[in-house]
Amino acid sequence: MTTTEAPELTGSNTEGKHLGLALAVIAGAQLMIILDATIVNVALPTIHRDLNFSANNLEWLITAYSLTFGGLLLFGGRTGDLFGKRRMFMIGIGIFAVSSLLGGFATTDIWLIITRACQGVGGAIAAPTALSLIATNFPEGPQRNRAMGVYAAMAGAGGAAGLLLGGMLVDLVSWRWIFFVNVPIAVVILFFTPRALNESATTSGKLDVPGALTATGGMLALVYGLSNVAGHSWTATSTLVSLVLAGILLLAFVLIETRTVEALMPLHIFANRNRSGVYAMMLCIGTAMFSMFFFLTQFLQNILGWSALKTGFGFLPMTVGIITAAVLASRLVGRIGIRVPLLVGPAAAVIGLELLTRLTIHSGYSAILVPLLIVSLGMGLSFVPLTLTAVSGVQPNEAGLASALLNTTQQVGGALGLAILSTIAFDAYKSKLASTLGASPNTVSRQAMNIATTHGYTTAFQVAAFIAVAGLLISAIVIRAPKELGSDKNPVHAAL
């Protein structure tokens, strides 16, 4: 096995920089960015009524953010390498704050979808530079491992925390405050960033704009085409045109990257077997996580009749579970390496998702709580070793690229997974409804609708479980790591 080195520091914590404050700034930014991927979920019914959203456009409140966020993360990471990570971090947070403010004042569905996409742009710049700033501000070893643990906990718990905060704001204030709340948080982060974080060294070069445009455009076309199947069909003209366009743009992206000196995604970043493995694993985890949040939220509100606030509190145990497991993992990787957490984590996710396939219209919260806790354990154990592996062994000038790819695979996996699983769930719903109605197709009872809808959700959970199994297989077959650490002084190096 070829060992890899952890990234070298390009900055130091001198001139009044404080590690505690630096970690608070980075973690706060990461939490704000990640929770916005799910904070809208619990507000969807209210926004649907207030702004007269169509059913198709409503889904784009989730995907518009995920796609611009995931599609531009590589570009955002590269800007940090070229122009300074701290500088671009602040620019990204600023774009995110302004977009949030405009979103809170939205009066039409298109207005709100555009501001969600702009939020994704800001997040795509801020998120990869935030992770890179850990490597440039924290000394390698226990301090960086602990910082990675906190960062990973925020990344993992952000989705569940978004559901809780979203529920509270929707029920107690207004859905508009799920956007307004980002503004004061961003102001605080922008105030403390230059006081807490050192600027990184910069590199010379140019931005790969054609690569960024083709990658993002290709993903947008792909997800639109997959989402379009639910309302139309695989053979519909709009579906075929979108999928063909996606194929052309994504192929163009690959060709551009192989021929561009300053490539947005140089292919040698995948030369490390472990790193490529964790990217594939994160793609699977993103699919499973996004689908669980989306469909379980819909189940709680549409089937069990829960309020947005109650739904948010229902996910609170998952938030606690992810944070607890992530902190535990950050301590374990320095002792036992990455191998065990990267096997136990995906396995737990598979078990939890399988349990969710047993939900019925009569299920109580206990049938949801146990799977939530199991999945949270799996995610928390997985995020830390995945994050450490992704940023270890890269050159300092490519730290932004490595971290951006990890975030990209999670967001792209979530967007693609939601598009695919929504289509699968809708087809399962239609099939179940038809079989339930039988000889009375014109008489649709509320119970029949709920049974069919629940069947659609559980079918999506089953497919998500299969995808989680794929992540487990990748971990078992691809990832290579020693069972014991070779050196306590360099835990990241030894773990990999």
| Judgement on whether residues 365 and 399 belong to the same structural domain of the protein | yes
Q: Is the pLDDT of residue 439 over 70?
A: no
Burial class (CB in 10 A: 0-12, 13-18, 19+), 358: exposed
User: Does a structural domain hold residue 344?
Assistant: yes
| Judgement on whether residues 258 and 341 belong to the same structural domain of the protein | no
313 alpha-carbon distance from chain centroid:
21
Given 241, 263, 285, the domain boundary residue is 263
Q: How far apart are CA 481 and CA 496, in angstroms?
A: 6
Q: How far apart are CA 351 and CA 465, in angstroms?
A: 8
Query: Which run of H or of E encompasses 492?
Result: helix 491-495
Q: Is the pLDDT of residue 9 over 60?
A: no
Residue 176's pLDDT is what? 94
Average of pLDDT values for 5-25?
A: 56
* CA dihedral for 358, 361, 363, 364, sign (positive or negative): positive
pLDDT higher for 333 or 254? 254
Q: List the one residue out of 291, 314, 289, 286 whose CA is nearest residue 457.
A: 291
Average of pLDDT values for 116-142?
A: 83
Neighbours of 413 (CB within 10 A): 27
Residue 160's pLDDT is what? 66
Instruction: For residue 47, give Cα distances in angstroms to 31, 64, 67, 215.
Output: 23, 15, 20, 30
User: Does a structural domain hold residue 134?
Assistant: yes
Q: How far apart are CA 330 and CA 335, in angstroms?
A: 10
Given 199, 233, 263, the domain boundary residue is 263
| Judgement on whether residues 277 and 248 belong to the same structural domain of the protein | no
| Judgement on whether residues 86 and 136 belong to the same structural domain of the protein | yes
| Contact in structure between 102 and 74 (CB atoms under 8 Å) | no
| Contact in structure between 92 and 125 (CB atoms under 8 Å) | yes
| Judgement on whether residues 383 and 239 belong to the same structural domain of the protein | no
Instruction: For residue 135, give Cα distances in angstroms to 147, 158, 187, 348.
Output: 9, 21, 24, 29
User: Does a structural domain hold residue 478?
Assistant: yes
Residue 7's pLDDT is what? 37
| Contact in structure between 205 and 346 (CB atoms under 8 Å) | no
Residue 495's pLDDT is what? 36
| Judgement on whether residues 237 and 272 belong to the same structural domain of the protein | no
To the nearest whole number, what is the mean pLDDT of the chain?
81
Report which residue type is found at 257: E
List, for residues 324-340, the tens digit of each pLDDT value.
888 888 888 777 778 88
Average of pLDDT values for 266-282?
A: 84
Under the banding of pLDDT at 50, 70 and 90, the label for residue 3 is very low
Residue 248's pLDDT is what? 94
Residue 383's pLDDT is what? 82
| Contact in structure between 15 and 142 (CB atoms under 8 Å) | no
User: Does a structural domain hold residue 483?
Assistant: yes
Neighbours of 410 (CB within 10 A): 29
Q: List the one residue out of 142, 196, 177 whose CA is nearest residue 26.
A: 196
Q: Is the pLDDT of residue 408 over 90?
A: no
Query: Which run of H or of E encompasses 31?
Result: helix 19-35
Residue 207's pLDDT is what? 77
Given 246, 263, 280, the domain boundary residue is 263
Residue 244's pLDDT is what? 94
| Judgement on whether residues 214 and 271 belong to the same structural domain of the protein | no
Q: List the one residue out of 467, 463, 434 whose CA is nearest residue 451.
A: 434
| Judgement on whether residues 239 and 293 belong to the same structural domain of the protein | no
DSSP symbols for 442-470: T---HHHHHHHHHHHHHHHHHHHHHHHHH
| Judgement on whether residues 131 and 221 belong to the same structural domain of the protein | no
| Judgement on whether residues 402 and 475 belong to the same structural domain of the protein | yes
Residue 5's pLDDT is what? 36
User: Does a structural domain hold residue 162?
Assistant: yes
Residue 422's pLDDT is what? 83
Q: Residue 78 is part of which domain span?
A: 19-207+264-495
List, for residues 162-201, the tens digit of each pLDDT value.
778 888 888 889 999 999 999 999 999 999 988 888 776 6
User: Does a structural domain hold residue 14?
Assistant: no
| Judgement on whether residues 371 and 476 belong to the same structural domain of the protein | yes
Q: Could you give the percent of the chain with pLDDT greater than 70?
A: 86
List, for residues 23-52, the tens digit of each pLDDT value.
888 888 888 887 777 788 888 878 888 888
Q: How far apart are CA 342 and CA 472, in angstroms?
A: 8
User: Does a structural domain hold residue 10?
Assistant: no
417 alpha-carbon distance from chain centroid:
11
The number of folded domains in the chain is: 2
Tokens 């039409």 belong to residue: 108
User: Does a structural domain hold residue 11?
Assistant: no
Q: How far apart are CA 30 and CA 123, in angstroms?
A: 9
Neighbours of 17 (CB within 10 A): 16
- The region of weakest confidence among 8-17, 369-378, 432-441 is 8-17
Under the banding of pLDDT at 50, 70 and 90, the label for residue 352 is very high
Q: Could you give the percent of the chain with pLDDT greater than 90?
A: 23
Q: How far apart are CA 259 and CA 269, in angstroms?
A: 15
Residue 492's pLDDT is what? 41
Under the banding of pLDDT at 50, 70 and 90, the label for residue 493 is very low
Q: How far apart are CA 113 and CA 132, in angstroms?
A: 29
Long-range contacts of 192-196, Cβ-Cβ distance < 8 Å, separation of 24 or more: 192/21, 192/24, 192/25, 193/25, 193/86, 193/89, 193/90, 193/93, 194/86, 194/90, 195/16, 195/21, 196/17, 196/18, 196/21, 196/22, 196/24, 196/25
Under the banding of pLDDT at 50, 70 and 90, the label for residue 11 is very low
Report the CATH number that the domain containing residue 183 is assigned in CATH.
Answer: 1.20.1250.20
| Judgement on whether residues 254 and 369 belong to the same structural domain of the protein | no
List, for residues 458-475, the tens digit of each pLDDT value.
999 999 999 999 999 999
Residue 16's pLDDT is what? 36
Q: Is the pLDDT of residue 487 over 50?
A: no
